[in-house]
Structure 1
Amino acid sequence: MRLYPEQLPQHLKGGLAPCYFIYGDEPLLKMEALDQLRRTAREQGFDERHRFDADEGLDWDLVFDASQSLSLFSARQIIELHLPDKLDKTASERLRELLRQSHPDLMLLIAGPRLNQQQQKAAWFKALAEAGPLVPVTTPDARHLPRWLGQRLHRHGLQAEPDALHWLAYAFEGNLLALAGEIEKLSLLALPQPLTLAALQQQVQPHHHFNPFQLFDPLLQGKIKRACRILLQLRQEGVEAGMLCHLLARELDQLQQLQLGLQAGQSFHQAAAALHVWSSRQPLLQAALGRLPPSKLHQLQVMLAAADQAVAAFDDDEAWRWLYAVCVGFLDDHPLVISP
């Protein structure tokens, strides 16, 4: 069963499952999901908790000893296990062994990072899916953030006019931790309801935050203004131009490989499957290929190579100028004229 964080309260009304796997890259939602599960477990008599990090230094015998021991103070206990970015063979086998030893007085609370498609095909992930609910936690994207924000405001007894809601979502995009703190502060100010744009702009300092991976979807969609905004914010946050060169090169290479597959007579889905492209990303890549001919993809690669050369020459300003040009180049099929 797959549950999303907002579905947990309703799910828990029916009782606790023996195991939960909370995974993803959104710190606020992960923290709140874990807290909610811990709190519910305590209410049902799970008064003892053992926490372990499943890195290379973990002594798994300690985990098994904890799972099988009876405390003088509590008959029910939680084993909380935090997984690393990659799980080695030993950890995979021991995790599956632990899942097989579940019993009614033990709840396994497993937390993990964002997982790629290959990791979700691993034996340990399938074992977790069979053991209990999967709870993926991801940052709401720009389309869904206003709705999420409206629900969050409502929980704190607040409302916001539509333009105020969208401004708040814009001001804290990618930084839900800061947004949650700001909502708590707003709830203490007793401001007139619904909140207006003018009131929010007087009370709130924007704290948006982006990670490099959020740059790609707007580029593939042709939403260049948004992509350039993210690019400029990434520079302000200290992201290295060389990292973006590497990540963009990988995206462009994937587009070119898909293009070659199409030219060889494959359907898009055949070409995407051969490259192990996630099904959720296939529409974005297909749309980009419909907008960007091979000649434009080649020009973008040439410009990206120029950015990479500027990085190698320690010319940071020049590298960012080329990166900005690459972003603009995703707009349409027209070749760009770049001044020397």
Structure 2
Amino acid sequence: MAITKVYPDRLDDHIQQAGLSPVYIVAGEEPLLHMEACDTVRRHVRDKGIEERDILQVENGFAWQQLTESASSMSLFGDQKLIELRMGTQSPGQEGGKALAAYATGARDSGNILLLSAGRLDYRTQQSQWFKALAECGVFVAIWPIEFKRLGWWIKQRAGRYGLELDQDASSLMAVRYEGNLLAADQALARMQLLMTPGIRITADALMQYIEEGARYDVFTLSDAWLGGDRPRSLRILQGLKGEGIEPPIILWAITRELRTLLSLHQHVEQGQSLDQACKAQRPSIPERRRPLYQQALNRLPRARLHKLLLFAQRLDLTIKGGGTLPIWQGLDDVILTLAGGRGPLTEWPAAYRVRA
């Protein structure tokens, strides 16, 4: 049986049309969307008259027989209950995998609803026996971060929930301010609902007095930005990481990893493979949704430049470890600018340190 996958914004419609499923797997690392997907399941469970709820928090040393006991114990208020299994970033391991697979065999007949919430489940986990067993008798809701190019549209739509109308510049401004932090963006819109006059179209100038800097970045967002050739956003994210106290070795690790991936892709493509084949050959393989970013970077960055950037990254690493004198953050700026298609180097640097001539 094929696994039913539902986007979080379609989950409510899916349940209304298909009814409640015995199992829901909600997995991902975007807190707001994850929370709302789980709330949607809970609301429909309550609407069906299921009042009892067992909450099982998976931590180190979790006893997996608790799941079996919860599923087999009678509800105090009826024949059905909601079982929330909160895994977070924990792996079920061998014991948990067996318990979950065993639960799946009787899930359709038990009358209970299992809501399994977890962090991001990678491809290997999705190929496991327990995941397939559960997903084939239920619904898988994968929570992905909203891409920056869609974020302005998402904020504009979200504002409509609060009775607010943002013009294009205002929604774009909020996208920049709250990238990677949807929860803060939603909270800002909720505050604006209380403070703004209903029915007024909100401009970027009017918005400035109601919002604060709320972006939250990570090194993976930075990689997507420079792979896609977005220079202003790449530098903005790098400065955001610096402001959040992210250490240079972590940023440099992410950069060098992608540099080696691009060099490997170049080699595979030059040997006659298609980009899709080259992406599948990587370990781990590159997801389809990210392959256009790598295609843009390959078109922009020849092998010789990538080798030079990798050597420069090694010099920065040596400086971080105390064996060099390069200005580290200035060096990271230069690398990111060059990767994103900018015209480095920083002119005040000695020629031997420059990334590009």
Q: TM-score range by the shorter chain?
A: over 0.9
Which string of whole-angstrom CA distances, capped at 9 and with x for unpartnered residues, describes residues 53-86 of structure 1?
Answer: 3344111111111111113334321111122353
- Structure 1 counterpart of 2:70: 66
How many pairs are equivalent? 340
SS at match of 2:149: coil
- Structure 2 counterpart of 1:294: 303
1:333 Cα offset (Å): 9.6
Decide whether aligned partners of structure 1 residues 272 and 156 sit closer, same or farther in structure 2, where only a CA change above 3 A counts. same
1:6 matched to 2:9: yes
Decide whether aligned partners of structure 1 residues 184 and 237 sit closer, same or farther in structure 2, where only a CA change above 3 A counts. same
Decide whether aligned partners of structure 1 residues 212 and 273 sit closer, same or farther in structure 2, where only a CA change above 3 A counts. same
Distance in 1 (CA, whole Å) between partners of 2:331 and 2:271 is 31
- Structure 2 counterpart of 1:227: 234
SS at match of 1:280: helix
CA RMSD between the two structures: 2.2
1:324 matched to 2:329: no
- Structure 1 counterpart of 2:153: 147
1:128 Cα offset (Å): 2.9
1:227 Cα offset (Å): 0.7
TM-score by length of 1: 0.93
Distance in 1 (CA, whole Å) between partners of 2:90 and 2:287 is 19
Distance in 1 (CA, whole Å) between partners of 2:204 and 2:288 is 38
1:41 Cα offset (Å): 0.6
1:285 Cα offset (Å): 1.3
1:120 Cα offset (Å): 2.5
1:271 Cα offset (Å): 2.3
Decide whether aligned partners of structure 1 residues 309 and 86 sit closer, same or farther in structure 2, where only a CA change above 3 A counts. farther
Distance in 1 (CA, whole Å) between partners of 2:193 and 2:266 is 52
Distance in 1 (CA, whole Å) between partners of 2:41 and 2:112 is 13
1:312 matched to 2:315: no
8 A contact 2:316–2:324 mirrored in 1: no
SS at match of 1:110: strand
Unaligned stretches of 5+ residues in structure 2? 351-357
Distance in 2 (CA, whole Å) between partners of 1:172 and 1:27 is 14
- Structure 2 counterpart of 1:33: 37
User: Which deviates the most, 160-169 or 15-24?
Assistant: 160-169
- Structure 2 counterpart of 1:116: 122
1:91 matched to 2:100: no
SS at match of 1:45: coil
- Structure 2 counterpart of 1:194: 201
Distance in 1 (CA, whole Å) between partners of 2:246 and 2:11 is 35
Letter in 1 for 2:289: S
Distance in 2 (CA, whole Å) between partners of 1:171 and 1:317 is 31
Decide whether aligned partners of structure 1 residues 231 and 315 sit closer, same or farther in structure 2, where only a CA change above 3 A counts. farther
Unaligned stretches of 5+ residues in structure 1? none
Q: How does 1:226-245 map to 2 (within 5 A)?
A: 226-245=233-252
Letter in 2 for 1:115: L
